[in-house]
Amino acid sequence: MSIWILAIVLCAIFGAIGFFSGAIRTALLWFGVVVSCFLTGMIAPKLVALMPKVGVKHPLWIELTPYIIVFSLLALVVYGIGFAVHHKVAMIYKYQRDDYSRAKWETMNKHLGISVGLLIAVMMFFVVAHVAYAGGYLTAQVAEDKNNPFWINFLTNAREDMHSVGLDRSMAALDKTSSRFYDTADVIGLIYHNPVLQGRLANYPYFLSLGQNSELQEIGGDKEYNDLLFGKASFGAIINHANTKRILANKEIVDQVKAVDLKDLKTYLETGKSPKYDDERILGRWILDKDAVLTQVRKAAPEMKANDLLALRKAVATLPDITLINTLDNKVIVKSEGGGAPAAAAAAPAPAQPAPQNPADRYARMRGAQAPAQPRPAAPKPAAVEAAPPPVLQISGEGEWKSVGTGDYEVTVTDAGGKQQKLAGVIHEDELTLSKGPLSLIFNRAQ
């Protein structure tokens, strides 16, 4: 019903304007609307940067306000010219024509004004319907909660009404909206209805560098905001949240997001595969698999003794939880959490104390008698020394990667001692092995 209510309201408003303004002023208003439709798209984008300077703060209104202002001003300027033209014609009929001619002209002017006003109403209906057709495509995907602002509910209801009466087919033929807008709406709808995809979004190769932005990391740690996103809160609540405004107000983030390949991103969210970036297999987020590292070392040394195996387990256990992030600009970012020093070697045994003497033996020696032989205490067994843990490759900091063949890479990172090390990287399916000599680290691709 909302689309028909809109049509009735527009006809009532512009019909009244036509009746009271007359045909001349209303005709020029119609001409002003036509001019505005053609020129607004060329002028308004140049005024977007001025909006924050005049007090417009909300990112959404920063984008929309210039279009509203330019359209309204152009239409009103031409409408104002109509007043001057109407005045000249009215003066002619007032002072140079008889009263009968003047009365006929005034009647005709009003009734013809109604017709022109209705023509403007039809034009405005299609302008608003076009906005509702495009905007409603987005809001209909994220408007499950009815506690949204009026404009979101209106766009959603208008789009549904168009579909129910078949008007959407006519609007589709007239629609000039960029396909990029509809791809953006599809991505937003996917993420909104499937919050689990937010984790996959963070692993999209294009966004790996952006994910290191300190402001985004701070926002990502906001529990209240995460509850909104994962809880499928109303779209209005998400849009009006302070963190959303911070993101939209950050030009660096917005510009980088605008440049994303939306079709590839949509495919990645739906399938987990990126047609654009999957050929560079090292791209992405990789998580250290400690069990795989332990298994790899055991395979390389199948005759390892029990003590050595125990020491190896302890050494691998002390490795931190490492996440390797390989970005599009050939950077390697190593993030480590946890880990600790290997267990200290067993304490050295205390020196053996001399056996206590029997007092009777001492008196016997004083009388010159031979003391009975005492059994010599057995030498203490040396305490078992814990086997030294075998060396385990440790990396940290940032580095670089480069391809040296299909599935083969050279990764330069910093080791635990602060020295740069060149590691050979080999990818097999979703497993990345970094090795230098006999030492290896094995990572699994984060999904």
Domains of the chain: 2-174 (no CATH), 179-271 (no CATH), 284-339+386-445 (2.40.128)
Percent of the chain with pLDDT over 90: 22
* pLDDT attached to residue 52: 80
Mean pLDDT over 433-447 rounds to 86
Q: How far apart are CA 383 and CA 392, in angstroms?
A: 26
Please give the residue that has the higher pLDDT: either 8 or 383.
8
Percent of the chain with pLDDT over 70: 86
* pLDDT attached to residue 355: 47
pLDDT digit string, tens, across residues 388-408: 455 667 787 788 999 987 778
Secondary structure string (H, E, C) spanning the chain: CHHHHHHHHHHHHHHHHHHHHHHHHHHHHHHHHHHHHHHHHHHHHHHHHHHHHHCCCCHHHHHHHHHHHHHHHHHHHHHHHHHHHHHHHHHHHHHCCCHHHHHHHHHHHHHHHHHHHHHHHHHHHHHHHHHHHHHHHHHHHHCCCCCCCHHHHHHHHHHHHHHHHCHHHHHHHHCCCCHHHHHHHHHHHHHHHCCCHHHHHHCCHHHCCHHHCHHHHHHHCCHHHHHHHHCCCCHHHHHCCHHHHHHHHCHHHHHHHHCCCHHHHHHHHHHCCCCCCCCCCCCEEEEECHHHHHHHHHHHCCCCCHHHHHHHHHHHHCCCEEEEEECCCCEEEEEEECCCCCCCCCCCCCCCCCCCCCHHHHHHHHCCCCCCCCCCCCCCCCCCCCCCCCCCCCEEEEEEEEEEECCEEEEEEEECCCCEEEEEEEEECCEEEEEECCEEEEEEECC
Burial class (CB in 10 A: 0-12, 13-18, 19+), 353: exposed
Strand partners, 334: 324
pLDDT digit string, tens, across residues 341-373: 443 333 333 344 444 445 445 444 444 444 455
Q: How far apart are CA 342 and CA 288, in angstroms?
A: 18
pLDDT digit string, tens, across residues 238-292: 888 888 888 887 888 888 888 899 999 999 999 988 999 988 999 999 999 988 8
pLDDT digit string, tens, across residues 178-192: 888 889 889 988 888
Q: Among 148-162, 300-314, 357-371, 405-419, where is mean pLDDT lowest?
A: 357-371
Q: Among 91-105, 193-207, 367-381, 432-446, where is mean pLDDT lowest?
A: 367-381
Q: Cα 282–287–292 angle (5° rounding)? A: 100
Residues 6+ apart with CB under 8 A from 11: 118, 121
Please give the distance of CA 99 from its chain centroid, rounded to a whole number: 71
* pLDDT attached to residue 443: 93
Residues 6+ apart with CB under 8 A from 405: none
Residues 6+ apart with CB under 8 A from 376: none
CB of 443 closer than 8 Å to CB of 286: yes
